[in-house]
């Protein structure tokens, strides 16, 4: 017990030291950027840790749930576009209602004709007829919406609320989709579930890319509102300038020349405003992280958490004890995906732009998996640590690779084509690092850096 506590404290210390190093060696702005992304990654990996570590569900659709969170950020915070709503909003709403109706009918038929052989044909017929009706209403309204000012908007817009609400909405979006997927696929074997989630995440991205009325598609949504002040505003705020002056007192006092003083102060204010904004984000994100960590830990040591572990370790006997395995799996699948959705909304909030094209499975799905495995599956603190370490390595791999390559090829001339080729491929060394780290950890420390603590109580 004491030993593993020491391990946790040690890992956290090392991580903070690394971030401080980046601050001193590279820049504080970069250090805080990394910190912010680390926190978001940590939340994602906590979500996956719930699914994998608590319940043993192999979900490879993280990218999709992240993107759904991002969509929530757009839909909540973007100002509504009334013209587009009046042009085609009604049509979209009606098609949506018909879609819901079709699903209800299919559900009903499925219940009613349980053993009937012709069930599937009837269902297919209903779906096809329904889709044709939807298409007739849906297509013209989409065209109408996309015709409204296509260079700037061309979509329905959002609700114009503060973006911070989207964190909750994003969670619900992801949870709702996870519920639908889970209902269909959770009865299956684990590898089938993996393929199914991989597929659904690709479909979500395809929808976001091509349904321009919803998310502007490949045209991207830029300039989302922020929950924190803008740098430009800060630079003109009196208290901020005074604070910067106060913090840099000793340094500023040495400057006697008035003009020089103004210039240095101005530069300091600009730099500090950038860092200040990032600190604001970091505080907001940390609050979310701590809340989720608290809840996750609470859940894990509760009887519910013990039941989850029992199901994970031996499904058959848990089933025999009267636990509804499929239902519990669905529950944890929905919760975990919701947490990923929250992180997705936070990610888009941080970037304040939504680019569906940027969602790549390597970066948004498999990288998160590496975080969970490396940090320690089944341990929330481990998942957070994994998020921090892996994101840090992901960012710092390129400078590190450059450093190493420069040393190794120092004997070669700068015009040597091999050296140029190596230097050009620096960005790809991070994949190599990631793969190697995952393989090494899985082989030599299969429980992760901070292993799961099992309490016998």
Partner 1 sequence: MIDFINAIVLLLNYIFIPAITYGSQLALGALGITFIYGILRFANFSHGEFMSFGTMSCIMVTWFFQSNNINLGYFPTALLALPFAILSTIALSLLFNKFVFNYYRIQRSAPVVIAMASIGVMFVINAIIRIVIGPNDIKFFDGQKFIIKAKHFKNLTGLNEGLALKSTQVLTVFITVLLLIFVFWFLQKTKTGKSMRAFSDNEDLALLSGINPSKVVFITWLIVGTLACVAGTLYGLDKGYKPFTYLGLVLPIFAAAIVGGIGNPIGAVVGGYTIAFSEIMITYAYKKFFKYLLPESLEPTGMIQLLSTDYKFAVSFTILTIVLLVRPSGIFKGRTL
The phi and psi torsions of 321 (rounded to 5 degrees) equal -80, 0
Give the range of 64-72, 304-312, 361-369, 379-387 binding partner 1 by CB under 8 A.
361-369
Asked whether position 108 contacts partner 1 by CB under 8 A, the answer is: no
Asked whether position 370 contacts partner 1 by CB under 8 A, the answer is: yes
- Output 104-110 pairs: Cβ under 8 A, ≥24 positions apart: 105/130
Asked whether position 316 contacts partner 1 by CB under 8 A, the answer is: no
Q: What is the footprint of partner 1 within residues 421-450 (CB under 8 A)?
A: 422, 424-425, 428-432, 434-436, 438-439, 442-443, 446
Side-chain half-sphere exposure of 117, counting CA atoms within 13 A: 0
Side-chain half-sphere exposure of 339, counting CA atoms within 13 A: 28
- Token pair for residue 441? 């950890």
Burial-class residue 99 by CB neighbours within 10 Å (0-12, 13-18, 19+): middle
Side-chain half-sphere exposure of 15, counting CA atoms within 13 A: 25
Strand residue runs (E) in 276-395: 353-354
The CA-atom distances, in angstroms, between 90 and each of 2, 104, 371 are 62, 21, 44
From 32, 48, 55, 56, residue interacting with partner 1 (rule: CB under 8 A): 56
Asked whether position 362 contacts partner 1 by CB under 8 A, the answer is: yes
Q: Please tell me the count of residues contacting partner 1 according to CB under 8 A.
A: 43
From 20, 101, 184, 408, residue interacting with partner 1 (rule: CB under 8 A): 184
Judge whether 338 and 174 are in contact, CB under 8 Å.
yes
From 58, 165, 172, 261, residue interacting with partner 1 (rule: CB under 8 A): 58
Residues 35-54, mask of contacts with partner 1 (x by CB under 8 A): --------------------
Asked whether position 107 contacts partner 1 by CB under 8 A, the answer is: no
Asked whether position 103 contacts partner 1 by CB under 8 A, the answer is: no
User: Would you say 203 or 291 has its CB closer to partner 1?
Assistant: 203
Asked whether position 213 contacts partner 1 by CB under 8 A, the answer is: no
What is d(CA 197, CA 64) in angstroms, rounded to the nearest whole number? 9
User: Would you say 14 or 357 has its CB closer to partner 1?
Assistant: 357
CA gyration radius, the chain: 25
The phi and psi torsions of 192 (rounded to 5 degrees) equal -65, -40
- Burial pattern 106-142, b for ≥16 Cβ within 10 A else e, equals beebeeeeeeeeeeeebbeeeeeebeeebeebbeebb
From 12, 122, 195, 326, residue interacting with partner 1 (rule: CB under 8 A): 195
Nearest approach, Cβ of residue 254 and partner 1 (Å): 49
Give the range of 65-73, 285-293, 310-318, 362-370 binding partner 1 by CB under 8 A.
362-370
Judge whether 161 and 76 are in contact, CB under 8 Å.
yes
Asked whether position 199 contacts partner 1 by CB under 8 A, the answer is: yes
User: Would you say 192 or 251 has its CB closer to partner 1?
Assistant: 192
What is the sign of the dihedral through the CA atoms of 405, 406, 411 and 415? Answer: positive
Asked whether position 14 contacts partner 1 by CB under 8 A, the answer is: no
Asked whether position 390 contacts partner 1 by CB under 8 A, the answer is: no
Cross-strand pairs, 157: 80
User: Would you say 296 or 434 has its CB closer to partner 1?
Assistant: 434
Nearest approach, Cβ of residue 74 and partner 1 (Å): 19
Asked whether position 165 contacts partner 1 by CB under 8 A, the answer is: no
The CA-atom distances, in angstroms, between 22 and each of 236, 281, 351 are 29, 18, 21
User: Would you say 277 or 371 has its CB closer to partner 1?
Assistant: 371
Asked whether position 196 contacts partner 1 by CB under 8 A, the answer is: yes
From 121, 192, 230, 294, residue interacting with partner 1 (rule: CB under 8 A): 192
Asked whether position 315 contacts partner 1 by CB under 8 A, the answer is: no
Q: Terminal CA-to-CA distance of the chain, rounded, Å?
A: 14
Beta 221-222 vs 353-354: how paired, if at all?
antiparallel
Judge whether 175 and 343 are in contact, CB under 8 Å.
no
User: Would you say 278 or 430 has its CB closer to partner 1?
Assistant: 430
From 32, 167, 364, 369, residue interacting with partner 1 (rule: CB under 8 A): 369
Note the helical H segments in 216-257: 231-235, 238-247, 249-253
Asked whether position 130 contacts partner 1 by CB under 8 A, the answer is: no
List contacts with partner 1 (CB under 8 A). Answer: 56, 58, 120, 139, 184-185, 188, 190-192, 194-196, 198-200, 202-203, 206, 209-210, 361-362, 366, 369-370, 373, 422, 424-425, 428-432, 434-436, 438-439, 442-443, 446
């Amino acid at each position: 017990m004491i030993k593993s506590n020491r391990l946790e404290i040690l890992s956290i210390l090392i991580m903070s030291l690394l971030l401080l190093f980046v601050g001193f060696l590279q820049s504080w702005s970069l250090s805080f950027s990394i910190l912010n992304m680390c926190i978001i990654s940590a939340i994602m990996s906590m979500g996956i840790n719930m699914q994998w570590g608590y319940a043993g569900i192999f979900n490879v659709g993280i990218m999709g749930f992240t993107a759904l969170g991002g969509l929530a950020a757009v839909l909540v915070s973007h100002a509504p576009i009334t013209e587009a709503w009046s042009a085609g909003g009604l049509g979209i709403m009606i098609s949506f209602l018909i879609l819901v109706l079709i699903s209800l009918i299919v559900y009903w038929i499925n219940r009613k004709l349980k053993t009937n052989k012709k069930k599937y044909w009837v269902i297919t017929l209903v779906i096809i007829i329904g889709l044709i009706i939807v298409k007739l209403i849906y297509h013209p309204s989409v065209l109408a919406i996309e015709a409204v000012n296509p260079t700037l908007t061309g979509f329905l817009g959002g609700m114009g609320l503060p973006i911070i609400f989207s964190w909750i909405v994003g969670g619900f979006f992801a949870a709702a989709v996870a519920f639908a997927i889970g209902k269909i696929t959770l009865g299956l074997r684990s590898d089938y579930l993996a393929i199914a989630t991989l597929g659904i995440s690709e479909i979500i991205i395809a929808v976001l890319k091509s349904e321009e009325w919803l998310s502007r598609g490949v045209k991207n949504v830029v300039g989302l509102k922020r929950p924190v002040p803008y740098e430009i505003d800060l630079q003109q705020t009196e208290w901020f300038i005074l604070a910067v002056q106060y913090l840099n007192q000793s340094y500023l006092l040495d400057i006697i020349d008035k003009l020089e003083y103004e210039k240095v102060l101005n530069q300091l204010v600009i730099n500090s405003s950038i860092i200040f904004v990032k600190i604001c984000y970091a505080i907001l994100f940390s609050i979310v992280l701590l809340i989720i960590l608290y809840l996750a830990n609470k859940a894990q040591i509760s009887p519910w958490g013990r039941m989850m572990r029992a199901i994970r370790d031996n499904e058959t006997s848990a089933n025999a004890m009267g636990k509804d395995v499929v239902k519990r799996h669905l529950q944890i699948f929905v919760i975990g995906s919701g947490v990923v959705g929250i992180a997705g909304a936070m990610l888009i909030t941080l970037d304040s732009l939504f680019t569906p094209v940027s969602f790549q499975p390597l970066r948004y799905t498999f990288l998160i998996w590496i975080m969970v495995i490396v940090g320690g599956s089944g341990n929330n603190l481990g998942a957070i640590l994994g998020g921090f370490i892996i994101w840090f390595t992901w960012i710092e791999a390129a400078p590190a690779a450059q450093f190493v390559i420069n040393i190794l090829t120092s004997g070669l001339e700068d015009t040597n084509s091999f050296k140029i080729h190596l230097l050009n491929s620096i960005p790809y060394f991070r994949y190599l690092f990631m793969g190697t780290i995952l393989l090494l950890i899985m082989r030599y420390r299969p429980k992760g850096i901070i292993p799961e603590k099992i309490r016998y109580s």
